[in-house]
């Protein structure tokens, strides 16, 4: 037996002001999407903004349903809408932000496991990484250059 070590590297920004203007704008779009989320049950709103290679920004937010688990996460809403509307256009960057009614979240909130798998599908399909920025309501913003950094052992088409 041997041990395998997997390391993850993320960039951490102390504030939005440390980011490029374009990345700040992408995060601002994620905040707009977040404000429109439908989260009457969890009271935990999530917004995502996805920058495409053609310059379009696609927004998504979480959509809950009384019949759990019929709802959908913001990241998957955005990524599937992007592919539905622009199937041959590469996805470059995604910004994710949250707003919780019960408390102020001060640490970055990454995509859930199901969203990581969905994002991984498109990184593999387009053969290029998707940068992901994620934050809480306050505090640091994390950036990963690829979904593979936060889901290093991805399940993909080659395993089928």
Q: Which residues are catalytic?
A: 75
Neighbours of 6 (CB within 10 A): 7
Query: DSSP states of 55-68 as a string?
Result: S-EEEEE-B--SST
**Alpha-carbon distances, residue 110 vs 3, 23, 67 (angstroms):** 27, 17, 25
- Using N-to-C axis directions, what is the helix angle for 74-85 and 113-126, rounded to 10°? 30
Tokens encoding 106: 């001060």
């Amino acid at each position: 037996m041997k041990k395998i070590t997997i390391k993850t590297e993320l960039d951490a920004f102390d504030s939005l002001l440390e980011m490029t203007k374009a990345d700040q704008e992408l995060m601002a779009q994620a905040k707009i999407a977040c404000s429109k989320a439908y989260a009457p049950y969890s009271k935990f709103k999530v917004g995502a903004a996805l920058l495409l290679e053609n310059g379009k920004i696609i927004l998504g937010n979480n959509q809950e349903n009384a019949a759990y688990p019929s709802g959908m996460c913001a990241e998957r809403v955005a990524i599937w809408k992007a592919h539905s509307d622009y199937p041959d256009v590469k996805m470059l960057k995604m910004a994710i932000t949250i707003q919780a009614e019960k408390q102020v979240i001060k640490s970055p909130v990454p995509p859930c496991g199901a969203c990581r798998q969905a994002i991984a599908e498109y990184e593999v399909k387009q053969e290029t990484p998707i940068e992901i920025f994620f934050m809480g309501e306050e505090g640091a913003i994390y950036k990963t250059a690829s979904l593979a950094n936060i889901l290093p052992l991805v399940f993909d088409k080659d395993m089928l």
